[in-house]
Amino acid sequence: FVAVPNPVYFTSFESNLIRERPHEWPMLSKGVCAHSLCITNTDRIYAARLHKTLGQKLALALQGDYKILRLFSYLPWEMDGSLQMGYFVLSPQGPSSIHARLADILVEHQKEIRFCSYRRDAEEDVQGCLWDFNGEGKEQEPCQLARIEEPDPSPLVLNIMRSALFYKLEDVLAVLRQCFASDPQVLCLQEKMKKERKDIDGKRNFPVIVIEGLDGTGKSTLTKSLQDALNATLLNSPPECISPWRKAFDDEPSLLRRAYYGLGNYIVADQISEAAQSSPVIVDRYWHSTAAYSIGTEIGGGLHNLPAHHHEVYQWPKDLLKPDLVILLTVSDEERMQRMCKRGLAKTVEEKELESNSLFRQKVEEAYKRMERPGCVVVDASGPKKRVFNDVLSIVCDHCNIHVSNT
C-alpha cells in the first residue's frame, strides 16, 4: 500500500464534458494501466470484512511496482445508498502480468466484486472497461472517463458518518449484535448496556477531566500525577472489562474496531457517572480519541482534505456523557518518538501507522483540535514532566474551580 494520496474523482465521459488532457491523469502516465475491484455485496459488515481480506490478498499477489489505493464507487444522485468500497491498482508493466496475478482472486470473488480496467487510448483519453465474468473474464465495451471536482458531501466523509464512527449507542450495538449474534458474553454486555445506562445529564458532584493526545505524548504519566494531586478516580477508555477483546477488534476492519472503542466509551461514561458522585474523575482517552483517529484514517491525502471546521463529524454524540474539560497534549514528532522508544510497549496497527506516516499524525492531531462541544484545551507537553503537570493542574483548577494546596 502507498501513503494515501489526495483523492481523485472521475466519472464516465459524457459528450458535453470537455475532453480531459493527459496531465489530468498523472497516475496513468505512459505505459501504466489501472484496474479497480469494487465490492458489490450490500451487507456492510460482510463488505467491510471482505474489503480487508481483499486488501491483504492484493498486497500478497501484487508485490513489486504495483500501487494499491483505496477506492469508493457511488451514484452521485444517491450517494448514501450506493457507496461501495474497493481498491484501485496501478500496474506500471501493463495489463498482462496483473491479470495472471489476480486470476485466483477474481474467480473466487467474481459474484461480489465488480472489476474494471483503465488505460489511455490512441488519443491519450482515458477509457474504462467493465469486465464480464460470464464464463471466461473479458472486457466489455469501453467508455470514456473524465475527472470531476470533489462532490459535496464527499464520499469519504459520508463513509465516516455511515461506517467508521458511531454517534449513537444504538448504532454501536447494532453492529456488535450482527457480528456476535451467538456470543453470550457480548449479548449479555449489550443487554446490560441497554438496561443500566445512567442519566447522562444527571447532576455530578465533582468535575470530569479527559486527557487526550497521540501515543507517547505523556497521557499516562500525567493522569497518574493528576490522580494523586486531586485525589481523583482514574479511568481509561477502553475500560479494563472489555480489554480481553481488544486485540481481536484491532485486527478487524474499521467498522468493527470503532464499534468496539465506541462501546468502550459508553461503558466508561457509566463508570464516570458513578465515580463523579464521590471524587473528581480523570479519564485517559475518550470520545475524541475514537473520533480523531477514525477521521485521520479515513480521510485521504493532506490536511486540506479534512472536513471543514464545525462539520458534523467533529460534534459530540448526543447520548454520551460530556466531560467538563478536555486537555490535548501535543509534542514534536521527534520528542514523541524518543519517548515511545524509551517506553517500548506493544503498539496497535494504527499506532505503527502513526509512526510511519507523518501526514496521518498531523491529520489526527488537527482532527483533535477541531472537535467541538467540548473542544480541547491544547497544552504543549514537550517540557519536563513537572512543568507539564503544573501547567495542566493550573488549567484544571481554574476551569473546574478546584483549589489544591501543593502546586
Ligand X SMILES: Nc1ncnc2c1ncn2[C@@H]1O[C@H](COP(=O)(O)OP(=O)(O)O)[C@@H](O)[C@H]1O
Question: How far is Cα 33 from Cα 40, in angstroms, rounded to an integer?
Answer: 23
Q: Which stretch binds ligand CDP (CB under 6 A): 80-88, 126-134, 257-265, 325-333?
A: 257-265
Q: Which stretch binds ligand CDP (CB under 6 A): 104-112, 145-153, 196-204, 285-293?
A: 285-293
218 binding partner (options ligand CDP, ligand X, none; Cβ < 5 to 8 Å by kind): ligand X
What type of residue sits at position 134? N
* Cβ 391 to ligand X shortest distance, Å: 10
Q: Figure out which of the listed residues 265, 271, 273, 330 binds ligand CDP, where binding follows CB under 6 A.
A: 265
Site for ligand CDP in 351-370 (CB under 6 A): 351
221 binding partner (options ligand CDP, ligand X, none; Cβ < 5 to 8 Å by kind): ligand X
- Taking the CA atoms of residue 167, residue 169, residue 175 and residue 178 in that order, the dihedral angle to the nearest 10 degrees is -160
Catalogue the E-assigned strands of 74-170: 84-91, 113-120, 126-132, 138-139, 143-148
Spell out a b/e string for 314-345, using b for 16 or more CB atoms within 10 Å of the CB, else e. Answer: bebbeebbbbbbbbbbbbeeeebeebbeeeee
The yes or no reply on residue 318 touching ligand X (CB under 6 A) is no
* Cβ 261 to ligand CDP shortest distance, Å: 4
The yes or no reply on residue 237 touching ligand CDP (CB under 6 A) is yes
| Residue 296: count of CB within 10 angstroms of its CB | 25
List the grid coordinates of 210. Answer: 479527559
| Residue 3: count of CB within 10 angstroms of its CB | 12
Is residue 87 helix, strand or coil? Answer: strand
* Window 364-403: contact mask with ligand X (x via CB under 6 A): -----------------x--xx--x---------------
Q: Figure out which of the listed residues 266, 293, 316, 360 binds ligand CDP, where binding follows CB under 6 A.
A: 293
What type of residue sits at position 83? L
The yes or no reply on residue 347 touching ligand X (CB under 6 A) is no
Strands 143-148 and 9-12 turn out to be: antiparallel
What type of residue sits at position 106? L
The yes or no reply on residue 289 touching ligand X (CB under 6 A) is no
CA angle, 76 as apex, 70 and 82 as ends, to 5°?
65
Q: Which stretch binds ligand CDP (CB under 6 A): 23-31, 215-223, 306-314, 381-389?
A: 215-223
* Cβ 335 to ligand CDP shortest distance, Å: 15
Q: Which residues contact 199 (CB under 8 A, 6 or more apart)?
A: 273
* Cβ 126 to ligand CDP shortest distance, Å: 37
Question: How far is Cα 335 from Cα 381, in angstroms, rounded to an integer?
Answer: 10
Identity of the residue, 39 or 165, whose beta carbon is nearer to ligand CDP in the bound complex: 165
Residue 170, CA distances (Å) to 166, 319, 338 in order:
9, 10, 41
* Cβ 220 to ligand CDP shortest distance, Å: 6
- Name the site residues for ligand X (rule: CB under 6 A): 213, 215-221, 339, 342-343, 381, 384-385, 388
Site residues (CB under 6 A) for ligand CDP? 215, 219-220, 237-238, 261, 264-265, 285-286, 289-290, 293, 348, 350-351
